[in-house]
Amino acid sequence: MTDNAKTTAATVIPTMRYNDAAAAIAWLCEAFGFEQHLVVPGEDGTIVHAQLVFGNGMIMLGSARANEFDNLQKPPSALGGAVSQSPYIVVDDADKHYARAVAAGAEIVNEIKDEDYGGRVYSCRDPEGHLWNFGSYDPWAAV
């Protein structure tokens, strides 16, 4: 464990690649409520690096391009739509968040429901196929 693990806002920050990162940033902010923390534009409308925040959490993303890192991580479209991980994001009101995501065109893959372990949860895909999970279950409050 790092010395600052309990005092840093977020010590685990998912990263993602998008074919159209600029459009993804706009959509993630509209549909899910992320806010831009830092966006570094590149050439031809690409995004070299972006940081979006949600509460005390953050994701980092950028445009898919041909470089060493992008040989390791690709958008779902480059993998036949498959993902090997997906973030879970704690929200205050899962039903309200669900309605916002649906209104923005999120593809719901698991309808909102009450979980046996507590909270309401749903799963969806963004326009480029990344899988997202949102729910009111807060594992930090459960310990």
Mean pLDDT of 98-120: 97
Element (H, E) at 111: strand 107-114
CA 35/CA 26 separation, integer angstroms: 9
Q: How far is CA 71 from the centre of its chain?
A: 21
Cβ atoms of 139 and 117 within 8 Å: the answer is no
Above 80 in pLDDT, residue 1?
no
Amino acid at 29: C
**For the chain, what percentages of helix, strand and coil (3-state, to nearest 5) are there?**
20, 35, 45
Give the pLDDT confidence of 75-92 residue by residue, as tens digits.
999 889 889 899 999 999
Give the CA count within 13 Å in the CB-facing half-sphere of 46.
13
Above 70 in pLDDT, residue 139?
yes
CA 14/CA 67 separation, integer angstroms: 19
Cβ atoms of 87 and 125 within 8 Å: the answer is no
Structural domain boundaries in the chain? 15-78+85-135
Q: Which residues contact 20 (CB under 8 A, 6 or more apart)?
A: 63, 128
CATH number for the domain formed by residue range(s) 15-78+85-135: 3.10.180.10
With cut-offs at 50, 70 and 90, classify the pLDDT of residue 142.
Answer: low
